[in-house]
Amino acid sequence: MAEQKPVRIAVDIGGTFTDLQIQDARTGQVHALKTPSTPQDPSIGLITGVEEAAARFGFAPTEIGRLLHGSTIATNAVLERKLPKGALITTRGFEDVLEIGRHMRKDVYALKAEPRSVLIPRQLRFGVAERITADGAVETPLDEDAVGELAIRLVELGVEAVAIMFLHGYRNPVHEERAREILLTAAPDLSVSTSFEVSPEIREFERCSTTVLNALLQPVISGYLTQVRARLAAAGVSAPLYLVQSNGGVVSPEDAARLPAKLLLSGPAGGAMAMDALAKQHGRLNLVGIDMGGTSSDVSVVTDGAIGETTESEIDGLPVRLPMIDIRTIGAGGGSLASVQQGALRVGPESAGAEPGPACYGRGGKRPTVTDGNVVLGRVDPEAFLGGEMVLQVESSREAFDVNICKNLNLSDAAAAEGVVAVANTHMAGAVRLSLFEKGADPADFSLVPFGGAAGLHACALAEELAVSEIIFPSNASTLSARGILDADLRWDFSKSAMTVATPDTLASLSTKMAELVADAARKLEQEQIPETDQQIEISADLRYRGQAYEITTPWLEISAADAHADSAALKALCDRFHELHQTRFSHNAPDDLVEVVALRAVATGKLEKHGARAAERAVPAPESTEREVCIAGKWRTVPTISREEALAAGAPMTGPLLVCEEYTVLLIAPGWQLSPLGHGDLLARRIGETA
């Protein structure tokens, strides 16, 4: 897997900006670049960024050896419902699993249940005769004639994507595989996903939802990858392309097109990976990151030195049962639109996006955003935005506030802007609290890591609301997600349902299943031609107490890929670790209760070559003035402005208020905070006194 060409590029396509990190092995330098996204065709923004990087940093497109790509394309397709016409084929009698769900209601006192998001309407959900029992035996053979007739009917109905989810298909895939074969023989242009391939685990509702998402995303991602490859080829880029998954690893375009549901948190995963590296770099065990971009904010957590992962999440109310980094996303970004509803300020989740963007962009936006609020408050130099490549229109921001907010609430534009920023801060603080509280953690025990283009302006206010006393401002914060992607490795996840108790009597069965998982993982690494020295296989188990509904994924450190055999001591160590995790997560455990093994998991990692890197020195334009008039806590103050390079070179800590201006972001150090260098180009702010 060695790179023969010197340049490696990581790209993170967001809703507003496309971020790039470029590593040149010849110099060891890493460069950052930010360019507007092109929502109508994200591949345009990608190739524009690559060509701009080549011109700015002195390399030819033919010198690119590897291109790693994260994006929100899959997420946006689901959120905006820009999906093809799809159908579901399932066991007869289970056509309504998607609508029945779990009977969970957020408001238990409401007279009506909340409407459920259902991606496939009832008339396109079909049941066929077949039945696999819970132990994997065939009770009722598959009605192959019915599947063949369905194939013809689906083509007539204009269906493009089909999800196949049979009861207990996770245990025995024979019927799902045969149904797919029949469908593709009769209609080879269909995109077909089976639950056994996508999510081979118990819980038919979650498995069905995940399979449906995967099926509907296949045409979307396949079409996008076709566009990307064509544009890269036209630009002279022949480098291997890898897609970032929700689990933080990367895969080939072929794997991504086959299992696109694994891309749903592709972009935010890069930021979480960078957080993990930051924790190791500075020896911080507990970090909470807030990635505030133009469209949304993502919260990720490092606890006890490890990035949080989960096996179940949801997107827009749709369950997704796949291994992924634990990230919470809210609609509060720089481009989040502000409005007055029923006499109160509301911010997000609607966003101005890249087009037209905030009012200050001068592209036709008429409604105020969080970015417009920061501009009105003097916190952003309109002449230095995007490294001076875009001049912001301050008067357009003020007009947007006057028309939409000030007149309705009888406020000055500065007061309205502060209100909008405060509401956005409250949304983000709430997401951080929830992400930590559900892990049994206290925000006061964590350091805050703000990144993304907008987070540096909000960090101190967020930290004060959360009672956090330390903030780490990473270098290249605006493109940190792309920086995390730059060091990603290949990764594939394998799982197998176990549904047994953790007792010595089940060791033989568990060992057999683990051996099968490890064999699958090793086979994939061999297929991808990963050198043995770069291979890694990790094993874990989903455990719960008998009677519980949900599990905790517990590392099985005593089992190795070389010897996937469990003895009594290894099983006891696994259960002890589960008891400890349960105590941490829920503040109680039951060491004397029986533990159930719900599923076994194996993670296969193919290490990609890494180069030593250092951030390139950038010629950042010096601020036109060393001071700016900035509104903080309702008062206009004369605030010193310096560059990050000046902050890093400072001989003594600097106290707020202070603005640190960078190429693609601005840091607001509020009164009561002290800033000093931390090392590796990063800055550290500590709370030292009363704030504004």
Mean pLDDT, rounded, for 674-690? 89
pLDDT of residue 107: 77
Average pLDDT over residues 248-261: 95
Amino acid 614: pLDDT: 58
How many Å apart are CA 390 and CA 387, to the nearest integer? 8
Give residue 290's pLDDT.
95
What's 652's DSSP letter?
S
Token code pair at residue 456 = 């540096």
The CA distance from 459 to 466, in Å, is 10
Contact between 365 and 351 (Cβ < 8 Å): no
Fold that domain 7-78+223-263 belongs to in CATH: Nucleotidyltransferase; domain 5 (3.30.420)
Sketch the domain layout of the chain as residue ranges: 7-78+223-263, 82-217, 290-488+618-692, 490-606
> What does the pLDDT average to over 146-158?
95
Angle at 118 (CA atoms; ends 117, 120), nearest 5 degrees:
155
The span from the CA of 663 to the CA of 384, in Å, is: 8
Answer for the pair 593, 620: CB distance below 8 angstroms, yes or no: no
Task: Provide, rounded to the nearest whole percent, the portion of the chain with pLDDT above 70.
Answer: 97
The closest alpha carbon to 272, from 517, 481, 107, belongs to 481
pLDDT at residue 616 above 70?
Answer: no
Helices (H), 489-608: 507-527, 568-586
pLDDT in tens, 158-201: 999 999 999 999 999 999 999 999 999 999 999 999 999 999 99
Can you give the pLDDT at residue 329?
83
| Cβ atoms of 381 and 661 closer than 8 Å | yes
What amino acid is encoded at 475 in this protein?
S
Q: Token pair of 654, please? A: 């600097």
pLDDT at 620: 47
Stretch (H or E) spanning 207? helix 204-234
Helix (H, G, I), strand (E, B) or coil at 186: helix
- Residues near 616 by Cβ (< 8 Å), separated by ≥ 6? 27, 29, 30, 31, 57
Mean pLDDT, all residues of the chain? 90
Q: Residue 121 — pLDDT band, cuts 50, 70, 90?
A: very high
pLDDT tens for residues 299-342? 999 998 889 888 888 887 889 999 999 988 888 888 889 999 98
Domain 490-606 in this protein, CATH class: alpha beta
| CA dihedral (97, 102, 107, 108) positive or negative | positive
pLDDT, tens only, 19-40: 999 999 888 889 999 998 888 8
Paired tokens of 73: 């394309």
